[in-house]
Amino acid sequence: MNVVVCVKQIPDPADPGALDPTTKTLKRDGKLILDESDSYGVEMALQLVTTAGGGEVTLVSMAPNGEVSGLRTALAMGAAKAILVSDDALAGSDALGTAKVLAKAIERVEGADLVLTATESSDGYTGTVPEQIAGLLDLPSVTFAKHIEVDGSKVKVQRQTEAGYDDVECPLPAVVSVTAGVVEPRYPSFKGIMAAKSKPVDTLTVADLGLEASQVGWAGAGQEIVAIEAAPARESGEVVEDDGTGFEKIVAYLDNLKVL
């Protein structure tokens, strides 16, 4: 069982940065880390490979600035190798441009049975990249997986829905996007961190993938930001320390609104 996991490397969410006023995109010049949302896919992939009793996990990532530290984290968890697509031409890519790059990179992984992504990235959260990848690769797909099992040549998924969940079966190879509830990601061990340093990371350019620079980045993006505006701020009201009578404040507030 060979699993490809798409992992995005993002600015630390604890320090989300800002929008660059000239390029009108998120500034991504600092260090990038593994998107926590993708750690679930990495863990799921590792467990599926273990259960299958053979195979390996390959990571695929696109990052404009050659960043590998997020990949190293996922390699330290146990992935075997990684493909990083990095190129100046990638800056400004929209979701479809990103999917084109990732799909081409995934095609280079031989014998992939399953491609995993997160349902949405923490910094971009378009949530469309998984289906776009599947569409470009002409593969079936299941999104919002909260449980995954592989059964011979098909994958069985519990797919989160607005009302509960659906049991879904899908032939392999397939693209599956996972929620944060799917598994509990492991922390990389010291041994894993050491081993990750020498695991192969294949760094490719847009041209290596056979894509034109005009298909990706600013050039390929079918969208343009026209304005960035501060939203009307919501004022904070009274904040009181509970001295045992805090509940009375709430009752009085609700009373005043005549909702009791």
Partner 1 sequence: MALNTIWVLAEASDGTVTNPTLELLTKARELAGTVEAVYAGSDADAIAGTLGEYGATKVLTTGDLGGALPGVPVANAIAALIEGGSAPDVILATTGTLGRDVTGRLSAKLDRTVLTNNVDLEVDGDKLVTTEPVFGGATNVKTTFTAGGPHIVLVRPKSFVAESAGGGAAAVEAIAVPDPGKSGGATITERHVEEREGPSLDDAAIVVSGGRGLGESEKFAMVEELAKLLKGAPGASRAIVDAGWVPYSYQVGQTGKVVKPTVYIAAGISGATQHMVGMKGSKNIIAINKDAEAPIFSISDLGIVGDVHKVLPALIEALKSR
Whole-number Å distance between alpha carbons of 32 and 7:
12
For residues 239 and 242, give the distance between their C-alpha atoms in angstroms, rounded to a whole number. 10
Question: Residue 71's binding partner, choosing from ligand FAD, partner 1, ligand AMP, none, with beta-carbon cut-off 5 to 8 A by kind?
Answer: none
For CA atoms 184, 190, 194, 197, the dihedral sign is positive
Location of structure tokens 């600015």:
11
Shorter beta-carbon distance to ligand AMP: residue 170 or 178: 178
Q: Which residue type occupies 214?
A: S
| Angular region, 253: left φ>0, alpha ψ -120 to 50, beta rest | alpha
Residue number with the smallest Cβ distance to ligand FAD: 122
Interface with ligand AMP by CB under 6 A: which residues?
6-8, 37-38, 61-62, 95, 98, 102, 117-118, 120-121, 124-130
From the list ligand AMP, partner 1, ligand FAD, none, which binds 30 (C-beta under 5 to 8 Å, kind-based)?
none
Q: Residues 6 or more apart from 137 whose CB is under 8 A from it?
A: 103, 106, 107, 115, 175
The entry of ligand AMP, ligand FAD, partner 1, none near residue 114 (CB within 5 to 8 angstroms by kind) is none
Q: What is the residue type of 178?
A: V
Residue 142 pairs in a beta bridge with 176
Write down the least CB distance from residue 243 to ligand AMP, Å.
44
Least distance in Å: CB of 75 to ligand AMP? Answer: 14
Which lies closer to ligand AMP via its Cβ, residue 128 or residue 205?
A: 128
Q: Which residue, judged by CB position, is nearest to ligand AMP in the bound state? A: 118
**Structure tokens belonging to residue 243:** 């001295």
Q: Are 56 and 81 in contact (CB under 8 A)?
A: yes
Residue 187 binds ligand FAD, judged by CB under 6 A: no
Q: Minimal distance in Å, beta carbon 175 to partner 1? A: 10
* Cβ at position 108, least distance to ligand AMP in Å: 14
- Pull the structure tokens for residue 52: 């299958």
Please check whether residue 38 is in contact with residue 135, taking contact to mean a CB–CB distance below 8 angstroms: no
Shortest Å, Cβ 159 to partner 1? 8
Rule CB under 6 A: say whether 126 interacts with ligand FAD: no
Binding site for ligand FAD (CB under 6 A): 37, 120, 122, 125
